[in-house]
Amino acid sequence: MKIGVPRETRPGEARVAATPEIVKRLIGKGFQVMVEAGAGTAAAYPDADYAAAGAQLGERAAAYDADILLKVRRPDADDVAAMRPGGLYIGLMESCGEDALYDAMQAKGLRVLGMERIPRISRAQSMDALSSQSNIAGYRAVLEAAARYGRFFPMMMTSAGSAKPARLVVLGAGVAGLQAIATARRLGAEVWGYDVRPETREQIVSLGAKPIDLDIGESGAGEGGYAKELSAEAKARQQAALADELAKAHIIVTTALIPCRPAPVLITEAVVQRMRPGSVIVDLAAANGGNCPLTVPDQVVERHGVTLVGYTNYPSMVAADASAFYAKNIANLLDIMIDKSDAGPVLKDLEQDEITKAMLVRP
């Protein structure tokens, strides 16, 4: 059975779906692995390392002519045209609702496993790509804030005087938010955390941050550990109650997202106007409209003396480790999908396992 690993072509994407370490592991299980030449270069994995791991290196068409195609980002029409009919695609589909691209994949007889569809159950934790990449995003977002903020994060005492620690607020205590809290604490900031899900309060406190407790009249806890969309009344109460806390912040890292919905507005322009000049907002929800309406996707802008960072792909900024994590997620997934035989690996019925069944993208 042949696995193909093409180079990612989306602008700004440096990750690769399989590292040399994982290629060696897959070959040891009986797979043939074809890697497009240069696929890992941007993530600091040279072709020589793939060759040493046993991979075949070739042109893009050879990587796409595979039984199983591994990718990081959503394919485009050219990708679909190059895939082997009847093959299996594993990667992020990044779609909600109707999807013309998936229709084209189905018409070609392709089966599609969306990595963002992995269920949040204990068995699937080692395969959860959203969590592994969100962890990296939370870490890298705080480093971005530290680089953009013109003052110290920790309290600094020197013979020339002292500086107070930065006041940093993290909005959203999911995987990215909790990692942002932990990273900011390690850098010495005074950290506050807020989430609409009451159960996250204990996690915020456990990382050494102070919780922001608001009474907005309803819980934001949704299914599968995700937040749900609040009512219009609760949103208004939330914005009003948060305003004073956010206006005092020197740095705000926002991570609040609702699956397949626009990002909730948590930082209004009026709040930005009240923040101290030189403050920084890093908006991890920029790709979904932003938690602040002033954020511009993939740009850094200044509004009312506040720097707003709208980058949408933080894992790609840490491409080597992000690729390693993602590749391990996929390798762990393949472990439950394959039976061994004398003739080599055999694909199991994807409908028979709760994980792969949940991942299957259907019409």
| Residues annotated as part of the active site | 120, 125, 128, 131, 226
Quickly count: other Cβ atoms within 10 Å of residue 41's Cβ: 13
Distance CA 79, CA 73 (A): 11
Six-digit token string for 350? 């994807």
Distance CA 268, CA 275 (A): 11
Six-digit token string for 217? 């009249």
114: left (phi over 0), alpha (psi -120 to 50) or beta: beta
Q: Where are the beta strands (DSSP E) in 234-337?
A: 251-254, 280-283, 300-303, 306-309
Residue 34, classified by CB atoms within 10 Å of its CB into exposed (0-12), middle (13-18) or buried (19+), is buried
Phi and psi at 151, nearest 5°, equal -135, 175
Distance CA 315, CA 284 (A): 11
Contacting residues for 284 by C-beta, under 8 A, at least 6 apart: 137, 138, 141, 172, 176, 253, 254, 255, 257, 314
Residue bearing tokens 């003739």? 343
